[in-house]
Amino acid sequence: MGVSLTKGGNVSLSKQAPGLTAVTVGLGWQANAGCEPDGSALLCDRTGKVLSDEHFVFFNNLTSPDGSVRHCGSGAPVDGDDQRIEVDLTRLPDAVEKIVFPVSLYEAASRGQSFAQVRRAHIRVLDQEGGTELARYDLAPGGLSAETALVFGELYRHGAEWKFRAVGQGYASGLAGIAADYGVAVPEDALPGPAPAPAAVPGAHAGAPMPPAPQTSADPYQPPAPQTPADPYQPSVPPSPPAAAAPAPDPAAPASPYTTGSSSVTCFFDPHHGPGMTTVTWSPQWGVPRPVQTCAACAQRVQTTVPPFYTPPQQGYPQPVPQGYPQQGYPQPYGDHDHHHHDGGGRRFGAGALIGAGAAGLIGGALLNEAFDDDEPDVVVNNFYED
């Protein structure tokens, strides 16, 4: 029969079993239906913290990295022990100063359970070689209410000896609270418990209401535009500078009588008329007819005026005569009569008429030669284009 301990008591296992090399820690209880206690072990250094997260042995990590501590799992009770953890003292790292043995209730918070529903709990240490019980601690049946995890006891070094202490320390925060207390960084999904509270918004005060979201005037019948996340590997595109506002019109300026538009070509006849939005055929006094772009007013003037357009008569230049009208000062042919001088019948011309005709021909030739040398009249029609 081993040494029976009370809370806080300790015993030297090395003195109880000289030459001790391995022990078995037995954990037992009687729990209400639906309660699931789970035993575990934490391999700690002299500061009281675990050597690493892998040195926390529990139902999701049944063996320590060096194999010195092994959880035997859950199964049928053995000699009154519901779960057992085996410890090979010879294989423990030198940095391990103590091994803590807690028991927690699985999903206690969500199930509304605590150690008030657990009775006759105990922890005992057996010599693994012969199965002899070396020490035992029976937890008091009363005094537990809101605790969901409990440290039953611990093995620890004392010089060259291994000793056992009865602890009986309760935790209302469950196995996660014990793990945090001993420096274990276990993922949330590895430990049972309630879902973590959402992270606080930076800059927000506790209990202060959040400001309402701004209302937008988007069409409720249109689906919202899909949001594309920014690609971190793509260079950011600088925002385009805002367009300069158009200058306000001067109310004192007179309104233009000409049509304005988006054309980049101004009126062929006068750029001050505005853009050339209409294409018409222009028949100049000098040159051949061709299409031009004019404003609406000039287009109507071209279409309602007999050619040539926009060129007043020039002094000293012969003017074109409409077809079908005789030109004053020049002889006109009549029918099929020959207008050349001959002795036979037909019309005859006097010497004065011949001299006058010759002089007129010389003057006309000179005028035509000057006209071809300067093919533009004094009044030039503006033919201005904008790029």
pLDDT computed for residue 231 by the predictor: 46
Taking each continuous run of H as one helix and of E as one strand, the counts in the chain are: 5, 15
> Which residue blocks in 54-115 are alpha helix, DSSP H?
108-111
Counted residue by residue, the chain has a size of 387
Local structure of 67: helix, strand or coil: coil
pLDDT at 203: 40
The reported pLDDT for the residue numbered 41 is 98
pLDDT at position 303 is 78
Is pLDDT at 56 greater than 70 in this prediction? yes
The model carries a pTM of: 0.51
* Structure tokens, 267: 């009126």
The span from the CA of 70 to the CA of 85, in Å, is: 6
pLDDT mean across residues, the chain: 74
Residue type, 246: A
Q: What is the arithmetic mean of pLDDT over 272-277?
A: 79
- The per-residue pLDDT for 379 is 45
Highest mean pLDDT: which range of 33-37, 122-126, 339-343, 371-375: 122-126
In the chain, beta strands by DSSP E: 3-5, 10-12, 22-31, 37-39, 41-44, 56-57, 69-78, 81-88, 98-105, 118-127, 133-138, 149-158, 161-171, 278-282, 290-294
> DSSP state, 343?
S
Per-residue pLDDT at 59 exceeds 60:
yes
Q: What is the pLDDT of residue 248?
A: 54
Per-range mean pLDDT, top range of 28-32, 209-213, 368-372? 28-32
Sheet hosting strand 118-127, strand order edge to edge: 3-5, 133-138, 118-127, 22-31, 81-88, 69-78
Name which of 97-101, 129-133, 205-209, 329-333 the model is least confident about: 205-209
